[in-house]
Amino acid sequence: MRNHLKVLTCLVLLTVFIGACSSSSDSEEAVTLPAAPIEEPIDSPVSSAQIILLESPDYDFGDVNAGSVSEAVLNISNTGTSAASQISASVNQPFKFKGGSYPGLGGNCTSSLGVGSTCQVSVVFNPTSGDVSQEPLTINYLSGITESTATIQLLGTGLMTSPTHLSISSINGFTINKCYPIQVSTVTDLNIESVVTSGTTINLLVNNGTGLFYDNADCLNVISSTVISADQKSTLVYFKSSSAPQDLTLIATAMGLTSAQKSNSISNITSQLSLTGDSQIKLGVCRQIDVARLDASGYQVYDDAPLIINIAHDSQVTIFSDSNCLSTINAITIETYSSSKRFYIKNSTLTGNANISVAATDITISSTQLNINFVDQLSWWNPNWPYRFKLNLNNLDQNVAFNNQAVLIKLDSSKINYSAMKSDGTDLRILNTDDLTELSYEIEKWNPVGESYVWVRIPLISASSQSDFIYLYFGNLSAGDIQNKNDVWIQYNSVWHLNEDLSMPAAQILDSSSSNRHGTLQNAPTSSYGVIGSGINLNGDSDSFDVGNLAPVLGTTTTMSFWMKTSQIGNNTNWLAPGITGVEQAGGANDIFFGWINGGGYLGMTVGNSAGALSNFIVNNNAWRHITVSRHSTTGICSFYVNGVLNGSSNCGAGDVTTAFSQIGIIADTGGTPTEFDGELDEIRIFNTVKTDAEIKADYKFQNQSHIIFGAIEMIP
């Protein structure tokens, strides 16, 4: 009986040591025993996510020409027993997510993936050299409470083709009487450097300005040519100018290669500083401020020496060197060959206005300051647009204000988040300085994996100022298309961007102005790599486009501008020479030769039987340049501009021309034998009056984007 009680007591107390339960009689107390460990159930399953890439273990893009892009959509699946969460992904160059971020444009993966579900990521291969590439695509996720990864190897081979073009690389501006390096390279059609098989002579010249090339950093030995050696793809030369301020173009030419040009400004020494940044910043938010060194004319100075700048600020403000606002500073250095420097600012204590001022350690340079309003809540035009950034317009170099000025905004993934936008960019909204007034804009080209071109009309750009700015809002995927291209170009008679698909039915060339002077291709012009998107290539054999009778606008007081590139040999007899447009009336004087090329390669303008006028610059060295030609029909004065600067003016013949002509690329023939134009054109504009020197310079610089400062992206508060 006592043995049975012992067993019962042990079972009740859940002990594991049966032999420890003992008693000498029924009245003895039970012994307290240690608790038994609780055992896990046998074969109990553990829920977990398991992500795999279905193309595993690798995906090969194959052979891709350097500079081109190949796309792939890869499938991700969760084969586990629970959902995966906190999914992110990474990949290394030359592979990347299409559009720049996970899951890529066209991908539909999110930060979670359910059991048995599959989603897609969109990845591109963009080789920049003739090499084999292998990089991992890594998916990071949370499986239950465990951080896990899934990996696939991305493979691809870049193919390098023979060079077809020259390229000039340098900083964007030079300081007077300083020696600066310039790299001349041989590149493919896709602008990828490629070696030459034999020594290649490069001819060097300056267009629309003064300066000299040299063979070394001492700038002592003047040269007019250099050589890229066999099996090399570039060479260094040097440049110096003793005239400032000026805007000029550096040109490199070589037999069998398309020429290259590089626009540069020549500034005087630094005499002032500028500060640009947000006029309103939210408390506790880290924002960027840019400081630049300028000469007395407002040109940015790219000096060959660094410049130390001290920063003063109100007590509630802190200055930082990094975009996370972690490292505090009170001074910055604008480095050698750089015109500007960025620092960051944060105020976490008091709302209201605060001043930031900068002063160079060189006391001959004027200081400047910026007033910022710190707020609890940012003013925001429309909460349906979650992103914006600011663009400052720099007109310090001109003491003239401009009304209704068309400005080109070039965008790429470094300036805007393509993946947060509609695929055609039509959710873009552009607001004036008041952050209330929407501005008219036109998208010439939208490329979510490259460069996009947007034109906007600015109601007022103030004289001698860089205080004017606009906001670009984006990120509303439900937004409609509100482009109003006619309103952008209200000052112009006609504007042809030449960015259309020329294989489409007529009219293939569209006029963005309200004139609707759309063009129809004659013969077979082709698209080319233009200065702003695509241009048009006319081969000198009946290639042109017909836009309707031009005599009412180009036959009278007018201004016409265009980008031009040609190597065509001209003729000293205007009615035998190639030209941009016009008409030759056999046996009569009611004709006009608009932009004809003479035997020396100079651009000409002739009305009737006058002697005509010639530019001071050569146009047939196969380099892109921006040309403007104006004519006053009463005085007969014709003026020629290259890159916004006057380069020749004289009498080309007075009176209106009424003989009809309608083609661009051909001077119409009513009995003579003019040669047809052989070359490339881009961004053609007609204005029905004589534009001033200042207006012509503004038209050039605001399509060259040399006078725009981009701010950082802000998110809706």
pLDDT tens readout for residues 108-149: 999 999 999 999 999 999 988 888 999 999 999 999 888 999
Summarize the confidence of residues 38-43 as an average pLDDT: 44
Q: What is the pLDDT of residue 396?
A: 86
Question: Is residue 303 within 8 Å of residue 175, measured between CB atoms?
Answer: yes
Q: Are strands 387-393 and 368-375 parallel, antiparallel or unpaired?
A: unpaired
Summarize the confidence of residues 181-205 as an average pLDDT: 91
Q: How confident is the model at residue 621 (pLDDT cuts 50, 70, 90)?
A: confident
Lowest mean pLDDT among 261-265, 274-278, 555-559, 600-604: 261-265
Whether pLDDT at 350 is above 60: yes
Q: Which of 349, 239, 230, 232 is nearest to 284 (CA)?
A: 349
Summarize the confidence of residues 534-538 as an average pLDDT: 95
Summarize the confidence of residues 445-452 as an average pLDDT: 91
Q: What is the pLDDT of residue 1?
A: 40
Question: Considering only the top CATH level, what class is 165-267?
Answer: mainly beta
Higher pLDDT, 320 or 145: 320
- The CATH number given to 272-375 is 2.60.40.10
Summarize the confidence of residues 674-693 as an average pLDDT: 94
Same fold, 51-159 and 272-375: yes
Whether pLDDT at 15 is above 70: no
pLDDT tens digit sequence for 375-391: 999 999 999 999 999 99
pLDDT tens digit sequence for 639-663: 999 989 899 999 999 999 999 999 9
Higher pLDDT, 528 or 429: 429
pTM (two decimals): 0.74
Q: How confident is the model at residue 672 (pLDDT cuts 50, 70, 90)?
A: low
The rounded percent of the chain whose pLDDT value lies above 70 is 93
Q: How confident is the model at residue 28 (pLDDT cuts 50, 70, 90)?
A: very low
Lowest mean pLDDT among 2-6, 122-126, 455-459: 2-6
Task: Return d(Cα 195, Cα 186) in angstroms, integer.
Answer: 7
pLDDT tens digit sequence for 588-609: 899 999 999 999 999 999 999 9
Question: Is domain 51-159 annotated with CATH 2.60.120.890?
Answer: no
Q: What is the pLDDT of residue 67?
A: 77
Q: What is the pLDDT of residue 46?
A: 61
**103: preceding bond cis by omega (within 30 degrees):** yes
Summarize the confidence of residues 347-356 as an average pLDDT: 94
Question: Is residue 613 within 8 Å of residue 606, measured between CB atoms?
Answer: yes
Q: What is the pLDDT of residue 19?
A: 40
Q: Are strands 280-282 and 368-375 parallel, antiparallel or unpaired?
A: parallel
Task: Specify the residue for token string 């509609």.
Answer: 422
Residues shown for the chain: 717
Q: Which of 137, 166, 8, 162 is nearest to 76 (CA)?
A: 137
Whether pLDDT at 6 is above 60: no
Instruction: Give 530's strand partners.
Output: none
Task: Give the residue extent of every domain in the chain.
Answer: 1-37, 51-159, 165-267, 272-375, 387-488+705-715, 494-687
Task: Return d(Cα 61, Cα 55) in angstroms, integer.
Answer: 12
Task: Return d(Cα 239, Cα 243) in angstroms, integer.
Answer: 12
pLDDT tens digit sequence for 70-96: 999 999 999 999 999 999 999 999 999
List, in order, residues 6 or more apart from 367 with CB less than 8 Å away: 273, 357, 358, 359, 360
List, in order, residues 6 or more apart from 8 with CB less than 8 Å away: none
Task: Specify the residue for token string 């007395």.
Answer: 296
Question: Considering only the top CATH level, what class is 494-687?
Answer: mainly beta
Summarize the confidence of residues 417-443 as an average pLDDT: 96
Question: Is residue 564 within 8 Å of residue 624, measured between CB atoms?
Answer: yes
pLDDT tens digit sequence for 708-717: 889 889 988 7
Q: How confident is the model at residue 172 (pLDDT cuts 50, 70, 90)?
A: confident
CA-based max dimension of the chain: 146
Q: Mean pLDDT of all residues in the chain? A: 90
pLDDT tens digit sequence for 388-409: 999 999 898 899 999 999 999 9
Q: How confident is the model at residue 225 (pLDDT cuts 50, 70, 90)?
A: very high
The rounded percent of the chain whose pLDDT value lies above 90 is 74
- 114 CA to centre of own chain: 39
Whether pLDDT at 297 is above 90: no
